[in-house]
Amino acid sequence: MTPDDPASVIEASFSSAGLHSFSCIGREGLLELAERSEPSAVERYGLLESSGAVVAALPYDPRGSSAEPPALCVGAFAAFNRYAALTRLLLGAGRSIAGAFGLPPKGFRAIVNSRLPEKTLAALAGIGFVGRSSLLVSYSYGPACLLGALLLPPGFPDVSTAYRSVPAIGAKGGCGTCRACADACPTGAIDRDGAGVDLERCIQHWTTRPGVVPEPVRSVWGRRLYGCDACVAACPHSARATASPGEVTSPAERSDALLLPAERRPGRFVPGPFIESASDEEIRAYFRKTALGLSWIRPEELRRNAILAGRL
């Protein structure tokens, strides 16, 4: 492995970080992404200066989303702080690549839950296709994965031809006649003919949106506090994240093993009565440094969700 062979360096660095599903995109691909992104986000992440990116998928197990009262359920993707973990793993891979090339590590930037359209980035990189659920159905784990990318610094060798072994499938093309996500969606938010997701009817959209939750969404709210796993869990391709043919553990289990103890909060279930009666500051403190601690997830809406679940 020498810096003359960037593909091997990237492969070794991502594999040793525990990221086994990744795909490279070159400068041309990033220019296409820039055209599909908000100009302020393009500038913020230095997209036009980057020489490429490595997109990675971090699998999780989307099953087991029902909670018994008085517990409330947190969506599988957010039960652990996988965003923080993925950022940490990407930056670790970046440090390793930087070391091999004698470059400063700060030139490698991680983008996870950023202001760039990450599903579009992942589709352009060829790691999967955008499915009927509007999620990125990765070839490795179906939609049961979070997405992130490591931006490569200016001057880094061209990676556009590396890891392009998976075929690029056009919009919706990969779903064929399957409608499982649309059938499983409790509110019918997913269009059966592939026209996308009606956000006004999406439960997850309403978990953070202020105001009165509309009746068609409210009536099927269940014990949810944040997150709705139904469309991810229903996708037949998600089974790849949880299957372990010939192996002791599944990809989702192995990816969970990469998480630090501090990243394993708040867990799938949280105490409903506490959230219902807690102050804003108490709710903020409870979810600090978790995937529910993001600035745009307000205590008001989490309390409203808990009260709504408690009344059903």
204 sits near ligand B12 (criterion: CB under 6 A): yes
Residue 119 contacts which entry, ligand SF4, ligand B12, none (Cβ below 5-8 A, type-dependent):
ligand B12
Location of structure tokens 């202001």: 115
Q: Which of 47, 91, 202, 241 binds ligand SF4 (CB under 6 A)?
A: 202
Burial of residue 171, with CB atoms counted within 10 A of its CB: 0-12 exposed, 13-18 middle, 19 or more buried: exposed
111 sits near ligand SF4 (criterion: CB under 6 A): no
8 sits near ligand B12 (criterion: CB under 6 A): no
Identify which of residues 100 and 203 has a Cβ nearer to ligand B12 in the complex: 203
Total residues contacting ligand B12 (rule CB under 6 A)?
A: 35
- The closest of 295, 312, 293 to 74, measured between CA atoms, is 293
CB of 247 to ligand SF4, least distance (A): 24
CB 100 within 8 A of CB 26: no
User: Considering only 31-39, 233-241, 249-257, 281-289, which stretch makes contact with ligand SF4 by CB under 6 A?
Assistant: 233-241
Residue 24 contacts which entry, ligand B12, ligand SF4, none (Cβ below 5-8 A, type-dependent):
none
Cβ neighbours of residue 246 closer than 8 Å, sequence gap 6 or more: none
Identify which of residues 90 and 135 has a Cβ nearer to ligand SF4 in the complex: 135
Q: Tokens in use for 242?
A: 């949880």
290 sits near ligand B12 (criterion: CB under 6 A): no
Using DSSP bridges, classify how beta strands 52-59 and 22-26 pair: parallel, antiparallel or unpaired: antiparallel
Residue nearest to ligand SF4 (CB): 131
135 sits near ligand B12 (criterion: CB under 6 A): yes
Burial of residue 157, with CB atoms counted within 10 A of its CB: 0-12 exposed, 13-18 middle, 19 or more buried: middle
Tell me 49's DSSP state: T
Which residues in 182-201 contact ligand B12 (CB under 6 A)? 197, 199
DSSP codes, 148-210? EEEEEPTTPPP-TTTT--SPP--TTGGGTT--HHHHH-TT--B-TTS--B-GGG-HHHHHH--
72 sits near ligand B12 (criterion: CB under 6 A): no
113 sits near ligand B12 (criterion: CB under 6 A): yes
- The closest of 78, 66, 76, 77 to 224, measured between CA atoms, is 66
Identify which of residues 178 and 213 has a Cβ nearer to ligand SF4 in the complex: 178
CB 77 within 8 A of CB 62: yes
Location of structure tokens 């980057």: 50
Which residues in 15-54 contact ligand SF4 (CB under 6 A)? none
List of residues contacting ligand B12 (CB under 6 A): 36, 75, 77, 112-114, 116-120, 123-124, 130, 133-136, 143, 145-148, 170-171, 197, 199, 202, 204-205, 227-229, 231-232
List of residues contacting ligand SF4 (CB under 6 A): 131-133, 137, 175, 178-181, 185-187, 189-190, 197, 202-204, 228, 230-231, 234-235, 237
